[in-house]
Amino acid sequence: MGFFHTPKPNKYRVEPRFWDPEKEKREARERRIKAELGLTEGEYQAGISRGDFRKGITDGKWDARAVRRRSNMRLGVIFLLLVGALLFILYF
C-alpha cells in the first residue's frame, strides 16, 4: 500500500458502427479481378513526385518574377476591393 493513489490507464476500444462483410468480400473480389485483368484505373498518385520541383523551376512556374507578379496582382485586387468597400460605406 502506497501513500499516493495512481489510477490505472483507461482502455480505449473503438467498435465500428457498421460493418458489412458482404461489401468487404465484394470489394476484395473486385480488386482481385482488376489485378488479374491488369486494370489500374483510379489508383492514387502522390501530388508531388520526384523531379517536380526541378520541372517547376525550368517551366517558369516558380520563377521569382512570375511569383512576384502574381503576388502584386493579388495585392492590387485586394486593395481595390477594400477601397471600393470603404467608398460604399462612406457614401451610402
- Condensed to tens digits (0 to 9), the pLDDT of residues 8-67 reads 888 888 877 888 889 999 999 988 888 888 776 666 666 777 777 777 777 776 678 888
- Per the domain annotation, does 82 fall within a domain? yes
**What is the reported pLDDT for 25?**
93
CA separation for the pair 49, 45 (Å, rounded): 9
Residue 80, domain member (yes or no): yes
- The phi-psi region of residue 51 (left if phi > 0; otherwise alpha if psi is between -120 and 50; otherwise beta) is left
**pLDDT at residue 70 is higher than 60:** yes
Q: Which domain holds residue 83?
A: 61-92
Count up the domains in the chain and report the number: 1
